[in-house]
Amino acid sequence: MNSGSYESTAPGTLGDPAVRAAEVPEPGAVTIVVPTFNESANVRELLHQITETVPGRLPCEVVFVDDSTDDTPEVINEAAQDCPFPVTVLHRDEPVGGLGGAVVEGIKAATSDWIVVMDGDLQHPPSLVPDLVATGERSSAGLVVASRYIKGGSRAGLAGSYRVAVSRGATWLTKSLFPRRLHGISDPMSGFFAIRRSAVTAEILQPLGYKILLELAVRSRPRQVTEVPFVFQDRYAGESKSTAQEGFRFLRHLMGLRTASPLARMIVFGLIGVTGFVPNLAGLYALTSAGMHYVPAEILANQLGVVWNFLLIEHLCFRERRKHRKGWDRIGRFALLANADLLLRIPLIALFVSEFGMGALPATALALVTTFVLRFVGTEALVYLPRKTSRRGERGEKEGEERKAAEQAAEPARRAA
């Protein structure tokens, strides 16, 4: 990721006597991570409310991870001068992973025992930050979710019945897909939560879009989870960043999480294969209707099914593994395996009929299952797993990195000479 960074530390720090005197006996400091995208109209008020409600109860720092195309970083730096706590801005030139990716960068930059993630539009009340941390300490929880759906909570700030319906539908869908992982979390769509820094491994997270709590809960959920009610507020300024595009990214994210296990990937792989019969049969009908012999027509129509399956598998099963090989390499290998499946099926059917005395129908069914399993294993192993690097290659890469580091270290002295 190419990123520049702006850092601004306010006059007061965690070591100032004024801050220490204001502390109450609630162990642990907090890093407040705020992902921002063109929120310049909100950040002054956000920092003001944090100043009014957080440092009087526990020491804090604020880390903004900014993907803005406006003057949000400059506004944050100006407003930070009046804050009695450290404020840091990490501006990303490339918003990898969207809002969720920004949160992961903030988690990596955090230095406190607790990390609170919240939006920059003031729909998440900063006054609740100390309560989230205090609840986590009292219950020994690793994750504390601010929920709109438990007693005392409200989704009042959701604008319009459409957004309410979308939020409710997304909540139902995620809890249905991950009943065990989301057990005890009534609001998996919440973007407001506290997590212990020791309870999360940022390197294993693969966020896509803005539902980072779902990513955390599914990939690295702490054993102990609790909730605190909160009232979802109206936006202070600006417009919602929720769009149809973000909705599609959310659905892709859900599918990626759901297919993380080999068994789930195999099931989805099989379902995609079933849908591939549609373009296959349509192509076969069109070609034979045009007068082509059924044998070459079947071969050509099979390629339509191959392309269909490849596109769906790329996005629904192996999205995170596409980086291991070039696109032309992946589709070439996939097509080879898919056509090999067609060639292998007929000899298998003949074997089952002649050697094991099976009827044509059960033999065909068994051959389909056998070749399906082989095709799935082959696709995962030959198309989407990383290339193996030889020891000599690894040693050469390591020596190259060491040589480059040595050259960089010697550069200042060389220039001075």
Same domain, 225 and 268: no
What's the pLDDT at 89? Answer: 93
Write down the pTM of the prediction: 0.62
What's the pLDDT at 96? Answer: 80
What's the pLDDT at 160? Answer: 57
Same domain, 186 and 270: no
Residue at 408 is within a domain: no
Which SS3 state, helix, strand or coil, does residue 33 take? strand
CA dist 216 and 206 (Å) reads 9
Residue at 256 is within a domain: no
CA dist 103 and 256 (Å) reads 19
Answer for the pair 98, 66: CB distance below 8 angstroms, yes or no. no
Same domain, 232 and 270: no
CATH number of the domain that 224 lies in?
A: 3.90.550.10
Residue at 407 is within a domain: no
Same domain, 76 and 114: yes
Residue at 402 is within a domain: no
Give the residue carrying structure tokens 């996005």.
315
Same domain, 105 and 235: yes
Same domain, 233 and 302: no
Residue at 13 is within a domain: yes
Tell me phi and psi for residue 287, to 5 degrees: -70, -45
Chunked into runs of 10 residues, the chain (417 residues) has average pLDDT values of 41 37 48 91 93 91 92 92 92 82 89 91 92 92 91 73 71 78 85 88 69 80 88 73 62 67 74 80 84 80 85 79 81 85 78 81 77 82 70 48 48 42
DSSP code for 8: E
Answer for the pair 320, 284: CB distance below 8 angstroms, yes or no. no
What's the pLDDT at 351? Answer: 84
Residue at 254 is within a domain: no
Same domain, 85 and 181: yes
Give the residue carrying structure tokens 């955090």.
110
Residue at 178 is within a domain: yes
In the chain, the number of structural domains is 2
Same domain, 269 and 231: no
CA dist 32 and 281 (Å) reads 55
Residue at 196 is within a domain: yes
Task: Record the tokens describing residue 175, joined without a space.
Answer: 């809890």
Same domain, 218 and 88: yes
DSSP code for 184: T
CA dist 376 and 267 (Å) reads 10
Same domain, 320 and 287: yes
Same domain, 101 and 46: yes
Range of the domain at 198: 6-239
Same domain, 138 and 271: no
Interacting residues of 336 by C-beta distance below 8 A, sequence separation 6+: none
What's the pLDDT at 372? Answer: 80
